[in-house]
Structure 1
């Protein structure tokens, strides 16, 4: 059994994680613990408050008691607003508090882009333009070339969480760029777990979404590789060796 603890602000798309857990198989657990989201508005100051150390620390003990082997701060905006160095310090603070390997969704995007071989990416964000550009700068600080950035001007996570498949597809298509090796959808309030493979078919390239990369990052922290093409190219870059037993779950469709 592999247990990855997730710290998640609010309730906008929390149901993506049970869906991913079922898809990956019965020996992977993704217990989720909510942190205080505060005022639901996509502004730099508010996002920094969401990711403050004291707010994240509140969920750490419950996570430890759940038997987590690693933890991920399942929030993109609440980590990249601190910048490249600040996001690493945030993860290090979490690791010290929990006594476990720790990371965040923002850092997960960087590692996931490397996993799928994406040196150039397009950002398709639900955020306001200024917040989307902060994510772009974060990726560039990591050495990733961003060939296009699209912000959608959505102010609250609650509104993003209400988007359906049609709106998610429209966002991905509008944010794509011919020169991009992959398209990134950086919002953990956005439901994407059911759509990743369809988005990749639509765009003809890897699509990395916040909740997908969050789970992958947690598994990476404990050196667990799971082959599950239903969750997109990120989970299908390395097939298990011949004869190896790799637990498989069921694919969940709408």
Structure 2
């Protein structure tokens, strides 16, 4: 899958996340190597609500960035969507600038990548789904509204999920969540969360709904490949990746 002389992507991963790493390996094309460092700043035993995720977003990245820089990545991904959704677009942009300043690497945030992907797809109305608690979904929808996207429908998970529970959702459960988020006037469906197994059901959900599906990890890889100038993404991950190939 990788070419040791090719581009390198470094990824900052929340320490309880079990799906970001396998997703990135699945989404990366040949010639791109992946390098991961885990980050903390939240209580693994608490429900990851807006307060927990805001704490994660505000936690120091000095040591994780120092460790990740040992791999000399060309691009660094901030691999938690909700940590900056909880704060707002200005915070997200400032965090990306901070990471770039400290590391010297091009920087992509999960929340910023969702916005960039929706702009590439030229959509304005979305259906939104995530494994977050409803109050954090409120923050996410407000973030996207600030960036010019109207959420016309949403699907909250039926019960609060802990960190382990979010990562344990099956692809079929994520697919059903995406179906519930749809409405005829939604131009696209957004599945937010880097620890949710949504990349595996992108094409299946797009076929069922007849519209693009954007996920956190897919969007991060898409934007990374854009900035790296790579145009050979793996097949089977939706209309967004097809735009890169075109």
Aligned partners of 2:77 and 2:108 also within 8 Å:
yes
Structure 2 CA distance for partners of 1:23 and 1:95, relative to 1, 3 Å: closer
Q: Does 1:196 align with 2:202?
A: yes
Residue 249 of structure 1: aligned partner: none
Mapping 1:139-150, distance limit 5 Å: 139-150=144-155
| Contact 1:132-1:150 within 8 A present in 2 as well | no
How many Å separate the matches in 2 of 1:128 and 1:218? Answer: 29
Alignment of 1:109-120 (within 5 A): 109-120=114-125
Describe the superposition over 1:134-163 as per-residue Cα deviations: whole angstroms up to 9, x where unpaired: 111100101112111222143322101111
Corresponding residue SS for 1:155: coil
Deviates more, 1:59-68 or 1:133-142: 59-68
The separation in 2 between residues aligned to 1:95 and 1:230, in whole angstroms, is 31
2:236 counterpart SS class: helix
SS at the partner of 1:168?
helix
Match of 2:131 in 1: 126
Aligned-residue CA RMSD (Å): 1.8
1:80 Cα deviation after fit: 1.1
* Alpha-carbon distance in 1 for matches of 2:232, 2:92: 26
| Alpha-carbon distance, 1:224 to partner | 2.8
Any idea what the Cα deviations from partners look like across 1:1-42, whole Å, max 9, x if unmatched?
A: 12111101024333x544543554331122221111531322
Q: CA deviation at 1:164?
A: 0.9
Say if 2:76 and 2:106, in contact at 8 Å, map to a contact too.
yes
Residue 62 (str. 1) matches residue 67 (str. 2): yes
Name the SS of the counterpart of 1:51 in structure 2.
Answer: helix
Q: Which digits, 9 at most, give the CA deviation of each residue in 1:113-144, with x for residues without a partner?
A: 11122221110121111110111110010111
Counterparts of 2:96 and 2:245, CA distance in 1: 29
Q: CA deviation at 1:53?
A: 4.4
Instruction: Measure how far apart 1:228 and its partner are.
Output: 3.4
1: CA distance, partners of 2:201 / 2:133: 23
Flag the 1:226–1:190 CA change in 2: closer, same or farther, 3 A: same
Per mean C-alpha deviation after superposition, the further-off stretch among 215-224 and 141-150 is 215-224
Structure 1 CA distance for aligned equivalents of residues 105 and 78 of structure 2: 12
Give the alignment partner of residue 186 of structure 1, picking from 182, 192, 201. 192
Q: 1:154·1:160 contact (CA, 8 Å) conserved in 2? A: no
What is the Cα deviation at residue 210 of structure 1?
1.3
Q: TM-score, normalised by structure 1?
A: 0.87
Structure 2 Cα separation of the partners of residues 134 and 145 of structure 1: 13
Shift of 1:238: 4.0
User: In 2, Cα distance between the equivalents of 1:163 and 1:127?
Assistant: 12
| Alpha-carbon distance in 2 for matches of 1:136, 1:78 | 14
Q: Which digits, 9 at most, give the CA deviation of each residue in 1:77-98, with x for residues without a partner?
A: 1111111111111111111111
Tell me the TM-score normalised to structure 2 length.
0.89
Tell whether 2:236 aligns with 1:210. Answer: no
Q: Which residue number in structure 2 is paired with residue 27 of structure 1?
A: 31
1:39 lines up with 2:43 in the alignment: yes
